[in-house]
Chains A and B, each alone.
Chain A
């Protein structure tokens, strides 16, 4: 009782232990929810793209609206050059969104509340964007660290700051998502604990908080997925259209 709000984040093995060499890659509850999210996305979008009717049905409309939404987001932030990366950003947004949303179900596990998951995603984005930048601009990509119109005396300082901010991108990107998810779910758990411990008389207040928090968390789940995707677009924009 009065369960520890952190136990919901515990990862445990489902089924047998699988090992490749020294590495443990057992199927866990985290893996389960990754698979569920992936399958849900694929099923929904497969249904949404299967039939081609002039007047779309609900699921087709959903798929096409999501397509339009993300396509507009990429176009607005990274321009038309980012078209080859559309599928990646689409998958990224959908994956994060579905993991966040499945985490909102009772007893579910939130994949994105683990720093290792978000960090791997962010690191992949960071490395990918850097590679794209160097491929597109060669060593000219380093101009990103030298903003124009800065007095020469300040330049070394600015360059150092720019490099630090560039290197901290994956950290900020991953920690933002992870911390939001973890904080939200912990808070919901704490308020849920209050409902139980205050009982029928005093439990109503934290219960109403809990209800409100659920709505807020669903908003946060969407918002963080959106922020994750749009920051990826902004980083990609830096790499594709060197502004500085």
Chain B
């Protein structure tokens, strides 16, 4: 039922269109030349106004905006690039400075180490020399003492023995005979006492 109605409507509509086409003189209103001149006139007027405004005022502004934005972005990118390079070079400088100071510190350390070692060595040598000299002097003295000691001892021995004898006996005894005895004795036992 609905289907039939639907087709009916389609049919009528088509029929109606045909009827209208037949009824109107030109069929389509587009082909009615009554307002053609008016349409052409208003088309030319509005389109020329549109063209003039767009080409003289609006489009140049859009172009300017776009170019300004482009150049600004370009500038910003360039500035960023420059700053990046700057910071990179500064980082390099900084690293160089650190390296330099590190090597400098190493050098200073080395130098001072060497210097102190040298110092120590020289001082030690000096001291050793001094010690050696002093030892030598002491040895000399000892030797001298060793050399002179037996004579002195002999003398003392002679004197003491002459004194003892004088006290014991009460008379002076010839020193030369005493000394002969002492010398004799010292020669006999000298090795024992002095290690000669």
Instruction: List chain A positions with a Cβ less than 8 A from chain B.
Output: 2, 4-7, 9-11, 13, 23-28, 30-31, 34-35, 37-38, 41-42, 45-46, 48-50, 52, 54, 60, 63-64, 67, 86-88, 90-91, 94-95, 111, 113-117, 120-121, 178, 182, 190, 193-194, 197-198, 201-202
Contact = CB atoms under 8 A, between A and B. Distances in A.
Contacts of A50: 61
Nearest to B40: A120
A22 to B, nearest CB: 9
B30 A114 contact: yes
Nearest to A46: B58
B34 interface: yes
Contact of B9 (A27, A90, A198): A198
B94 interface: no
B148 interface: no
A180 to B, nearest CB: 13
Given A6-B28, A31-B42, A202-B5, A67 B62 contact: yes
Nearest to A197: B9
Contact of B68 (A52, A67, A88, A197): A52
B40 A116 contact: yes
Nearest to A4: B20
Contacts of B32: 11
Nearest to B38: A25
A116 B30 CA distance: 7
B65 A49 contact: yes
B129 to A, nearest CB: 86
B55 interface: yes
A108 B119 CA distance: 110
Contacts of A60: 65
Contacts of B16: 2, 4
Contacts of A86: 59
Interface in B40-94: 40-44, 46-47, 49-51, 53-55, 57-59, 61-66, 68-69, 72
Interface in B128-155: none
Contact of B35 (A28, A42, A64, A197): A28
A26 B106 CA distance: 100
B168 interface: no
A2 B15 CA distance: 12
Contacts of A194: 9-10, 13
Contacts of A45: 54, 58, 62
B19 to A, nearest CB: 9
Nearest to A49: B61
A182 B30 CA distance: 9
A42 B46 CA distance: 11
A49 B50 CA distance: 15
Given A45-B58, A194-B9, 5 more contacts: A2-B12, A49-B62, A64-B65, A91-B50, A91-B55
